Amino acid sequence: MKITTLPSLYRNINRWRKIITVLSRYGLADWISTLNLEFVKDQLKDRDGEALARHTREVRIRLALTDLGPTFIKLGQLLSTRPDIAGIELAKELKNLQSSVPADAPSVARQLIEKDLGQPIDELFSEFDDVAVASASIGQVHRARLKTGERVAVKVQRAGIESVINEDLEVIAGLAQLAEQIEEFQAYRPTATIAEMARLLRRELDFGREERNLQLFSSSFAENPEIKIPIVYSELCTPRVLTMEWIEGIPLSSSEQLIAAGFDLQQLATSGAEGYLKMIFRDGHYHADPHPGNVLLLPGNVIGLIDFGMVGRIEERLREDIEEMLMAIVNRDVLMLTSILKRVGSTPPDIDQRGLSSDVADYVAHYANQSLQDFNVSSALNDMLEILHRYQISLPSQVALLIKTLITLEGTTKILNPSFSLMEVMQPFHRNMLLRRISPARHLRKMRRVALELEHLAEVLPSRLIEILEQIQSGKFDVHLDHRGLGPSVNRLVLGMLTSALFLGSAMMLSLKVPPLLFPNSELLQQLGMQELSILGLIGSTTSILIGLRILRAIMKSGHLDRKE
């Protein structure tokens, strides 16, 4: 742990104590689960009285995050979008994390709304329901009615949640630094991963971002009568209060109500999927959480989307990489797909190239021959994520979020139509993708971008070259080298030289009989020819032999004694 984390450790000592206690408890349960002693496994129990050691490791992680509170629950939910880091099984389990908590008292919610909006509740709304219709770890939702008659949903941030999350994030950052010292976690860059998730979590604290997302999507779907986005009332919004149109519809999970209401489920599945794919491949921004709870069905086969706290954005270059990835699968181009995965993701320096190429070849052979009707997008993406996790290739957060969205989207549409094929709906987008890649407009944009970069290079290159030449002339030019893995080798070399010197010096002391001597008159030592031994020489030679054996053991353990590179 860095010394800069010590103030955080002191400031949050009680929280550290609780976190370590919970982690120790679940870590002990993880160790107990490996034992064959059945009576021991029933000693540690969860809140429902079930033995922790009898749960799977993924379930124990979910339970531990639940016990640690709202910040850890939200981070677990974010980690569920990163199966390339957490693994498929753990990501699936973390999707079950529930952040439902008791709502704040009505007086607390009213006080926050009146403070942020600057007026009493009765002057802002003609009706306001003090009982929250939904409550989560960050906010709660109340029904209300404007003075003009419109029904609205008022989302209010929980009191004190910002300070709680900031305190927990400090602690989690310290834990990430500790994890950075463990070799098996280093490939996943825990410090950088936690920093990224902390940034996303702090964004959720700002309801102003969700307000802007609602405005953006309302503009994008203004001419699409099949998609309904809630209207946002900006004059009644602050970073802690969000007021938007109340949408009344049937939840997607209530299939019996949908059938009874006469909805065309097949048409809804198709139009909803097309709307999402347009967001991704046309607009470059999309609703990133299309699970059934965020999808409502309105009269006239209209799909209503709510909860725009998580929105994905995908830049043009990254979208082209994803398009190339899909084309490589269709064309069965193993080398191209392997190259794209390594280019898009962050690969470890010691990656097994042959193993990765072999697994990608098997993956392509399995999915490239499937018909559109039988192609399972979720299965294909999950298998790809499994390969990435196996070789410790971490994806950019934008790509990981897009993959998670596509998997969730296919699962949601299959609720409406079990025989629905997302790949069939994607086929027109694939054709548009090919046309877009050969379009003159795309090449003109790339040429313009390259020209701007060359112009910038032409501006800065002469001055940078002059600076380098001046440093060389004045003798101030330094070359900084990063010797990765050289530190342990240098330490062994220095220790080996010191050990050799100690052994040689001790041997000379033994041969010259440097006092004090060991048992100079002992008959037994005289019979063995070991009379008059130098005590200092004996101690030095014994120590050098032990250190030499320790160095040899370390070299053999590292596997670099006689292995050919």
Residue ranges per structural domain of the chain: 3-98, 252-438, 486-558
What are the helix and strand counts (H, E) for the chain?
A: 24, 13
DSSP letter at 158? P
Torsion sign across C-alpha atoms 144, 146, 151, 157? negative
Highest mean pLDDT among 43-47, 231-235, 557-561: 231-235
213, 308 contact by CB (below 8 A): yes
CA dihedral 366, 368, 374, 375 (to 10 degrees): 100
Confidence tier at 501 by pLDDT (50, 70, 90): confident
Residue that wins the pLDDT comparison between 22 and 171: 171
Q: What's the pLDDT at 156?
A: 94
For 219-234, what is each residue's pLDDT tens digit?
888 888 888 999 999 9
Res 46: pLDDT: 55
Q: Could you tell me the two tokens for 290?
A: 């299309």
Assess whether pLDDT exceeds 60 at residue 43: no
CA distance readout (Å), 179 to 78, 192, 397: 19, 11, 20
Tell me which range, 206-220, 436-450, 455-469, 473-487, is most confidently predicted by mean pLDDT: 206-220
Distance of alpha carbon 524 from alpha carbon 402, whole angstroms: 81
- pTM recorded for the entire structure: 0.68
Tokens 């009505």 sit at which residue? 106
Res. 62 pLDDT band, cuts 50 70 90: confident
What percent of the chain lies above the pLDDT cut of 70? 82
In the predicted structure, residue 30 carries a pLDDT above the cut 60: no
CA distances from 444 to 6, 106, 281 (A): 54, 58, 19
Active site residue 350: no
How many CA atoms lie within 13 Å of 248's alpha carbon, on the beta-carbon side?
4
Check residue 39 and give its pLDDT: 43
- From the list 404, 422, 414, the residue with the least C-alpha distance to 91 is 404
Mean pLDDT of the residues in the chain:
79
Q: Which of 404, 302, 392, 331 is CA-nearest to residue 356?
A: 392
DSSP code of 293?
A: G
| The two structure tokens encoding residue 260 | 């009874």
List 289, 321, 352, 478, catalytic entry: 289
For the residues 390-399, what does the mean pLDDT come to? 82
Q: Which helix (H) or strand (E) holds 55?
A: none
